[in-house]
Amino acid sequence: MSSDAEWYLNSLKYNKPGSIPHDFATAVEDGCPFDCGLCPEHQQHTCVGLIEITTRCNLACPTCFANAGPGYDLSVAQVEAMLDRFIETEGQPEVLQISGGEPTIHPQLLDILAAAKKRDIRHLVLNTNGLRLAQDPDFVRELSVYRPFIYLQFDGVSAQTYENLRGQDLCGIKKMALDHVAEAGLHAGLVATIVRGVNENEIGEILRYGLEHPSVLGVCYQPVTFAGRCLNHHDPLHRVTLPQVLHDLENQTEGLFMVKDFRPVPCPHPTCSASTYAYVDDKQVMPLTRLLDVDDYLDFVTNRVLVDASAVIKPVLEALWSMAAVMGSEKTTNNLTCVACNLNLNLPSSVESLVEHFFSVHVHGFMDAHNFDLKRLMKCCIHQLLPDGRAVPFCAYNTLGYREQVRQEQEALVGR
């Protein structure tokens, strides 16, 4: 569950009360976690909605928790119906992640992005392994019309890491993909799956790579999820935990980022994830949490808020320590700028250059059958949107058979 009892126990005070969606899709019948959902017992609305637009993939990663490979694509009409349902349950949804499989090989990805834009979903995020972005710069230019934030699978800087986790050396592919993203004026976050004994020694180098590449605005580390194909290759009892990543980051960056710079994210269960932000200027990296005691605003249990400053800063910090914060978006940049102004940091005057002065580091410890915790699941705010209108907390979708159920239903529909 955790390799740092102090971190685990301390994180519990960051538990922000949830808010419910406008509508529930299921009733309480068999009890949690078999009624997803969302059912009326769920304690948080959807901060991030995910749509798996295809189960196909152009890689066959040994660590794939989604068992992607050959499969089917959702039609644009199906995705449009799912988007409409997302709006019914959320009003104006914050973040839509388009995922898969590998979404860039869906032949109508651009139509799907257009459909999401038309519905005024605030932020679009595209989860990708980067293969097509590296091989097809024209496609990246076409993508840029819809301004998605690119959430790029990026597990390390060595050939061995990619051979182990992805089945082939992808170092050159990742670099080329990021270069094309930068050329198209888009921004990216590096998403690193961390596997014990494989790439936990590259945690610091991944961060430095991100800080140096002009398109990269953040890094998200994800200890591997022991589900799907991953179980054939790795031992779930030999795992990296969230605080382990924080300690490794501190040790491997000579304290550039330290464990004490991070705070749990309060909108899901606070043991699920941790974040920090830094102001980056001329190779100087200053975590904002060293300049501002965010505990004064984000500690929801002891509630030691400073009355004077709280009216301005509290909502800004709550929006930053949220799953709905997307780096590079106008809202997150404005919030970071507000914090930086309150700290009297010397900010550049142009808004465009402001975006690239902020950097986020996030660690998300997804659950699987071996560390499952219903309390965390009931407060989950990252939900897989299903073609039948349900929304299922992401860890339930990966672990409890919901993914397989959807796959069977869709394959029956397309006559496989």
Take residue 24 and report the two structure tokens written for it: 């529930």
Smallest distance, ligand SF4 to C-beta of residue 306, A: 29
Q: Which of 268, 287, 328, 387 binds ligand SF4 (CB under 6 A)?
A: 268
C-alpha–C-alpha distance, residues 392 and 127, integer Å:
18
Label each residue of 109-175 as H, E or C.
HHHHHHHHHHCCCCEEEEEECCHHHHHCHHHHHHHHCCCCEEEEECCCCCHHHHHHHHCCCCHHHHH
Q: Which of 50, 203, 286, 395 binds ligand SF4 (CB under 6 A)?
A: 395
C-alpha–C-alpha distance, residues 305 and 316, integer Å:
14
- Give the β-pairing of 263-264 and 273-281: antiparallel
**By rule CB under 6 A, what string of x and - marks binding of each residue 129-158 to ligand SF4?**
x-----------------------x-----
C-alpha–C-alpha distance, residues 356 and 388, integer Å:
40
Smallest distance, ligand SF4 to C-beta of residue 392, A: 7
Q: Which of 2, 4, 13, 32 binds ligand SF4 (CB under 6 A)?
A: 32
Q: Which of 66, 95, 298, 363 binds ligand SF4 (CB under 6 A)?
A: 66
Rounding to the nearest 10 degrees, give the CA dihedral for residues 302, 286, 200, 221: 60
Q: Which of 11, 14, 42, 170 binds ligand SF4 (CB under 6 A)?
A: 42
Nearer to ligand SF4, 37 or 210 (CB): 37
Asked if residue 101 has a cis previous peptide bond (ω within 30° of 0), the answer is yes
Helix, strand or coil, per DSSP, at residue 192: strand
Q: Which of 377, 386, 400, 406 binds ligand SF4 (CB under 6 A)?
A: 377
Among the residue ranges 31-39, 170-178, 289-297, 298-306, the one whose residues contact ligand SF4 (CB under 6 A): 31-39
- Beta strands per DSSP E along 185-236: 188-194, 216-223
Smallest distance, ligand SF4 to C-beta of residue 222, A: 9
The verdict on 53 binding ligand SF4 (CB under 6 A) reads: no
Nearer to ligand SF4, 226 or 366 (CB): 366
C-alpha–C-alpha distance, residues 268 and 275, integer Å:
13
Which residue ranges make up the site for ligand SF4 (CB under 6 A)? 32-33, 35-39, 41-42, 57, 59-61, 64, 66, 68, 100-102, 129, 153, 268-269, 272, 364, 366-367, 376-378, 380, 382, 393-396
